Structures are given as structure tokens and as C-alpha cells.
Amino acid sequence: MKNIVLLALACAVTTVARSQDTAQTTANDTVKTYVLPEIVVTATRGERNPNDIGRSISVVSGEFLRTSLSHSLAEVLSYSEGLYLVGAGQNLGANQSIFLRGAGSNHTTFMVDEVRITDPSGVNNALDLSEFTLAGLERMEIVRGAHSTLYGSSAIGGVVNLFTPKNRQPGLHADAELRSGTFGDGTLLFNQHVSANYTDVSGFYVNGEVLNSRVNGMDASIDTVTSSAAFKNRDKDGLEALDLVGKVGYKNDRFDAYAAYKNHREKKDIDQSAYLDDENYTLDFRRNLLTYGASYRFSDVWSVKFLGGYSDMRREAVDDSSVINNSGNTDQTYYEQEWEGTMSTNELQTNIRLVGFEAVVGAGEYHETMSSKSYFYSDAFGPFELSTDLDTLGLNATTRNIFAHVDLNGYLFHSSLEHFSLGLGARFNDHSAFGSAVTYEINPTVRITDAGLAYLSYSTGFNAPSLYQLFTPESYYTSNISRGNKNLQPEESSTFEVGFKHSLGNNARLTLSYYHTVINHSIEYVYLWDYNVPIGDLGNDFLRDDYRGDTYLNLGRQISDGFEFTVTAALTDQLSFAGNMSIVSGRLEYSPADIDRSYTQGNHVQLYNSGEFLTGNVESTGLVRRPNVYNMSLIYQLVPEWLVRLDVKHAGSRLDVYYDSQRGPYGALGSVPVKEYTLLNLTQQFEFSERFSAGLRVENILNEPYREINGYHTRGRGVFVSLRYELSEAL
């Protein structure tokens, strides 16, 4: 199947090369999904034509978000090159993680209206993308590669910027959608979505949106027990979610101000872990998100912008007693844990635009807090209680920054250099825990033809340790070394990229890019063992406790190489094509010279991610959950009212991790291959009138059994229908 996809991509390149520049229009707004808009802002923090920017950029239009019938943000992202999303094809509501250009799930910056959003209560600050629905989104911009110079921590793999709608044509605009479908035996999805906008001729506008989701899901984890005598009490795992979105603002030719609020709540059944069901395990999540901003354009040369946001989130997991036999007896345990976190940010920037010169200069502050509580009770062998509470510790961190980025055209130096441009940027960060971090970028470009651009970039990035990794106080009695390590330094990255992009009129576009990324000072979770005991004897004497605790250390580095290719084209007035491929490889390297021996007290260090003891250099080839990915889409306008879209996705074989009790005295993570898979999805849109339309989506048409990661089911063949009503009354 992979060869078929590659052949199709090659054929598409030939077709694009033969496309005529005289083609003026595309047949339908959904086909225009693949034509970039006139401006993007994420790559430079200023309005620029994407064809003039020497970085890898994708834009997802609001029309595609509305008509694709995708269930989640993760599914939409999965169509783009350089990305692999774990959880996008699993049970609806499953944890969703992003791996962009070989970087980890905590190495991509997510933003809403240019305001960074994090999960400060998590172990490594990585977001669970399942909390992001498509409610309240107008478009999405994806910029690949290290972008910490403009956006700070975690922007190593890239940046995903979600934009909410502003004003529309004066008048009242509203739409309502009902969506329902099934994706396996006994499953059911039912969504209700309503949005409204009122825009006044003065420029004042107000938006509101509600998305309510109910899912009767499938058993999320895989059952590997084959014995008929074994007791099973497996259940299906469902989801209830509600999004409330509001925005108010004012916009004219010079002034743009807004405030937006989103409340997301969800409750879902979860399982204990891979392969292990739990019929009484639930997870409740809630996030309040407030974003605001104002900008003023003094002239075509000078403008200023202020951006800010505040978010608080709370996650509560409850695992009640589970039935363990046919008599209805339970394990007589109860477990509850709460995580809470807040983030606030404010930034001020000014943009200057002259002939051949563009610059942005800014400064800001980012603040995070976290706390957690846990409670465990068991009556299996008599009453036993255990509780923890981090509230009184006041865990928090603040990052202050200043940054500047300039784009210079060679015309400033000599008229013969007008086809050359150079982007330069730098950022200084001051973190309350580890001190300063400096990032920079150099980005030369050359316009080969009016429609072709070649570019190089060298950019650095950093990822600050999470509050949990820095401050969580748990320790083991034999050493009193805390799990949180206040000595942690940020992960640091450097990325070299070379690329080419070419457009043929308004209807075809081709991009190529190669990148090489090195991440140093990787933050690793490790076990510590008594240095007085030889490694081969650890854990062999039950009368001797060899364990010295667990902690986080800056250890080793990750090296990634990748190649990306995309082609998009309106082949005819009725037919549009899009295809991309992403190839990634990498390795991990560790050296005992990187161990902070004063902190570890000289004890043996064992890597949890492989079980290896760092007595010498360690290298592992292959990156977990980073497959080569190929996507292809064909969109055909049968008649003006009827649109058909076929999507093909192929994910190559890759490594996954599992807990291996045989690795070292306590066990550690082992790796196991996961098979490649190919999925076919079909989507149809039919407009009965200007106001009323219907959609049909058949996903995983061939009902292919596949795995994104080991231990969890993915959705089988799914059939979903939607009915949509739109109202637009002009003033």
C-alpha cells in the first residue's frame, strides 16, 4: 500500500508541473482548503504571505474544520505532514498526544489566538489534545521547526496556533448541527452544535457557541485473557463533554480588541492501563480559558499589540472498588487523585514595516502553578489509609522574556540582491527556577523565480522542566533524594532545515524540506540504586534494601532527521488533490559523564525508558511512536451541491513501549514493534439549499484492525451523518 501512495504522490507532482497558471478559481470552498490564505501570523508574529516565509507552514481553513466531519482537533492535525497523533483513532475521549518532527509530546507549543496554553499540573507539561474540540475555531496555523525565539518554552518540534472567529459581515449569522453515528458494536456518538454571531456596522461583534457531545464508546483496552475460567467484568468506556464559548470585540481598520472565554468540561470512563480494564475508573476534567488582546495600527509602518490569557484547570480521577469474582466481591479499595493548575501570560509587542525591512520586538511574562492531592483506602486486610497534599507547597514558576525578530531584504544593500532575504531573531528568557536561557534563529531565503522560494534556517529552542519535575517532594527513606530535582536545567535544541516551496498560480503548490534536530540535556526519569552493591547483585537479597529512590536528571541527547514533501493542486474545476509524506529517523545517546553525581549521591543510575544502567555510553536507534506517514486526499465536486472527499492515510511500522518487569530489579520500559496500517475515509457533503446541508462520513472503510499503540483498541468502520442549518441575515 505504501508503494501505491508513493506512486500517487509522484503522479500528482507530474500533474502539478503541467498545471496551467491561467486557472483562476476553484470549484468549491472546501477545495480551497488546500490553498493557503493571503496572510499568516504565526511564523513571524506579523502578517505575511506564507509564500514569502522560509519556514514549513500549513494552514487549515475554517471551511475544512466545518465540513470534514472530523471528531477532534487531533484528527484534523493528522492530515498535515510531519505529525503523528496517538489517540486520534482510538476510543473517542482517549488521551491524545502529538509527535511533531520526531520531538516529544511536550515539545510542541499550542496556542489559542497567539496565547500559549499548557497543562501545568501534568508530569511533563504535555497537553492531552482530547480537551481541544473544534468548537470556536476559525482556522489553524502549523509552523514546523524550533520556534522558541518567538514563542518560548516547548517550541522545539513546532507551533500550533488556533484562531477563534472575530467579526463577520454586518448582521446576524447562526448555524446549528446535529451529528450522530457509530464506530463499532454497541457504540454511538451524538453531538449537538450551535453557534451564533452578531456583527454591527460599527465594528462591534459578539460570538457564542455550544458543543455538547455524548459517546457510548467501546472497551478502550485490549483483552488478552484467553482462559474461559478467568473472571471478566469488562465494560465499555464512554464520554460526556460540553464546550461553552463566547467572544466579544470591536474591530475596524486601525483598532482590534477582544475578550474570549471558553469552558470545557468532560467526564469519561478510562481503563487501568494497557490490556487492563477497570469498570469503575472515571476521569473528570475542567478548564476555564480566558484570552484577550488589543492592537492598534498607527500607520502602515507601525503597530502595537497586547496579548494575554489566564487558564485554570482541574482533573479528578476516581477508581472505586472493582468486582473481582462471580460472587460480586470487590477488591475493597478506593483511590482518588486531583490535579490542579493555573497559567497566566501577558505580552506586549510592536511591529515595524518599511520597504525591505520588517521587525517585531516584544516582552512578556508567563506564570504557572500546580497542586495535587491523593487519597487511597483499602479494607482488604483491615482499614488502611494513605493521603498526600501538595497544596501547602505553593509550587509555581515564572518566566520573563524579551525578544526581537527582523527580516531584511537584500534590496537594502544593493538592487541586485532584491531576491535575497535574511531573518534574524533572538530571545532572552529568565526562569525563576533555573535562571536564563537564550535562543536565536538565522533564516536566509532566496527567491529563485516569482513563484519559487528556497530557504535555510538554523534555530535553537528550549523546553523548561515542568513544575512536577522540579518540585514534587516524594522521596525514598534510604536516601531522601526527592523525585523533583530543583537542579534541572532546560532541554536545549538546535535545528538545521533546508527547504523549497513553489506555487503554480493560485491552484497548485509544492514544498520540500529536510531537517536535522539535536535535543541536549533531555530530562529523563531514572531509578537510583545503592552504589555499594554491584549491579548484578541488586535486588537479590530480600533482607537488604538496595533501592535509593527515583528522580529526574538531565541526561543524554536525541538526534532526529526527517524529510517532508507536500503537493496540493486544483487539477480541474471539479477535482482537487492533496498529498504529503513524512519520513523521520532518530536515536538516543546517553553518557555517564552527564550524571549529576552530587545530586545522585554517587548511586547507580538506571534509565526507566530502557532499563539500561549508565556505566558506559548507551545508544538506542529508533524513536518511539514516530512512524513514517503518508497522506493523500482527493476532493471531487460532482455537481455544485454535492462534494465527495476520499482520504488515504498510511502509517509505517514503529516502536512502542511497554512495562517489562524483567528489566532490572524493579522493571523498566521495553520496546516492541507495531505493525504498519492504511486507512481509507470517505466524506460527502450535499447542499439541499443555501441554508440546509447534510454530510456523510464513512471512516476506516475497509474495517482494518490496527493499533496506534499497544494495548488499546482503535475504532473500526464508522458511519456518521450530520445535518446542518445556517442562517445569515445582513443588516
Per-residue pLDDT tens digits for 451-468: 999 999 999 999 999 999
Number of Cβ atoms within 10 Å of the Cβ of 567: 26
- Is residue 11 over pLDDT 80? no
Tell which residue, 367, 363, 378, 359, has the closest CA to residue 343.
Answer: 367
Instruction: Tell me the helices (H) and strands (E) count for the chain, helix number first.
Output: 6, 36
Strands (E), 252-324: 255-269, 281-297, 302-319
8 A C-beta contact, residue 360 and residue 327: no
Q: How far is CA 634 from CA 22, 33, 365, 684, in A?
A: 22, 12, 45, 12
User: CA 700, CA 713: separation in Å to the nearest integer?
Assistant: 14
Q: What pLDDT is recorded for position 5?
A: 42
Place of cell 522493571: 667
Q: What pLDDT is recorded for position 38?
A: 67
Q: Which domain holds residue 14?
A: 2-730
Place of cell 462591534: 204
| pTM metric for this prediction | 0.93
Q: Which tens digits make up the pLDDT trace of 191-200?
A: 999 999 999 9
Q: What pLDDT is recorded for position 31?
A: 39
Residues in contact with 644: Cβ distance below 8 Å, sequence separation at least 6, in sequence order: 635, 636, 638, 682, 683, 684
8 A C-beta contact, residue 306 and residue 347: yes
Mean pLDDT of 581-597: 96
Q: Over the range 467-502, which residues count as b (16 or more CB within 10 Å of their CB) and which as e?
A: bbbbbbeebbeebebbbbbeebbbbbbbbbbebebb
- Give the type of residue at 218: M
- Give the type of residue at 190: F
Q: What pLDDT is recorded for position 228?
A: 84
Mean pLDDT of 704-720: 95
Q: What H or E segment, with its residue span, contains residue 470?
A: helix 467-471
**What confidence category does residue 7 fall into, taking pLDDT thresholds of 50, 70 and 90?**
very low
**What confidence category does residue 63 fall into, taking pLDDT thresholds of 50, 70 and 90?**
confident
Percent of the chain with pLDDT over 90: 85
- Which set of grid coordinates corresponds to residue 341? 493548575
- Is residue 35 over pLDDT 60? no
8 A C-beta contact, residue 313 and residue 263: no
Strands (E), 478-520: 491-504, 508-520
- Is residue 726 over pLDDT 80? yes
Number of Cβ atoms within 10 Å of the Cβ of 579: 26
Total number of domains constituting the chain: 1
Handedness of CA 286, 144, 37, 723 (dihedral sign): negative
What's the CA angle centered on 88, arms 85 and 92, to 5 degrees?
Answer: 155
- Give the type of residue at 557: R
Mean pLDDT of 27-45: 62
CA 217 to chain centre: 23
Q: Which tens digits make up the pLDDT trace of 266-298?
A: 999 999 899 999 999 999 999 999 999 999 999
Q: Which tens digits make up the pLDDT trace of 479-509?
A: 999 999 999 999 999 999 999 999 887 788 9
Q: What H or E segment, with its residue span, contains residue 339?
A: strand 333-354
8 A C-beta contact, residue 273 and residue 281: no
User: CA 581, CA 651: separation in Å to the nearest integer?
Assistant: 10
DSSP β-ladder status, 171-182 and 188-199: antiparallel
8 A C-beta contact, residue 615 and residue 535: yes
DSSP state of 206: E
Q: Indicate the length of the chain as a whole number.
A: 731
Q: What H or E segment, with its residue span, contains residue 251?
A: strand 239-251
Tell which residue, 392, 424, 524, 482, has the closest CA to residue 124.
Answer: 524
Q: What pLDDT is recorded for position 27?
A: 37
- Is residue 111 over pLDDT 50? yes
The mean of the pLDDT values for the chain is 92
User: CA 683, CA 70: separation in Å to the nearest integer?
Assistant: 10
Tell which residue, 240, 312, 233, 328, has the closest CA to residue 282.
Answer: 240
User: CA 136, CA 195: separation in Å to the nearest integer?
Assistant: 8
8 A C-beta contact, residue 147 and residue 196: no
Q: What pLDDT is recorded for position 37?
A: 54
**What confidence category does residue 324 fall into, taking pLDDT thresholds of 50, 70 and 90?**
confident
CA 199 to chain centre: 32
8 A C-beta contact, residue 303 and residue 81: no
CA 40 to chain centre: 19
Q: Which tens digits make up the pLDDT trace of 148-197?
A: 999 999 999 999 999 999 999 999 999 999 999 999 999 999 999 999 99
Q: What pLDDT is recorded for position 506?
A: 75
Q: According to DSSP H, which parts of 560-659 are helical?
A: 597-600
- Is residue 19 over pLDDT 60? no
- Is residue 686 over pLDDT 80? yes
**What confidence category does residue 12 fall into, taking pLDDT thresholds of 50, 70 and 90?**
very low
User: CA 150, CA 147: separation in Å to the nearest integer?
Assistant: 6
Tell which residue, 40, 149, 28, has the closest CA to residue 636.
Answer: 28
Q: What H or E segment, with its residue span, contains residue 468?
A: helix 467-471
Maximum Cα–Cα distance across the chain: 87
Domain with 496 in it: what CATH number? 2.40.170.20
Place of cell 516551496: 501
- Which set of grid coordinates corresponds to residue 554? 538531565
- Is residue 39 over pLDDT 50? yes
DSSP state of 7: H
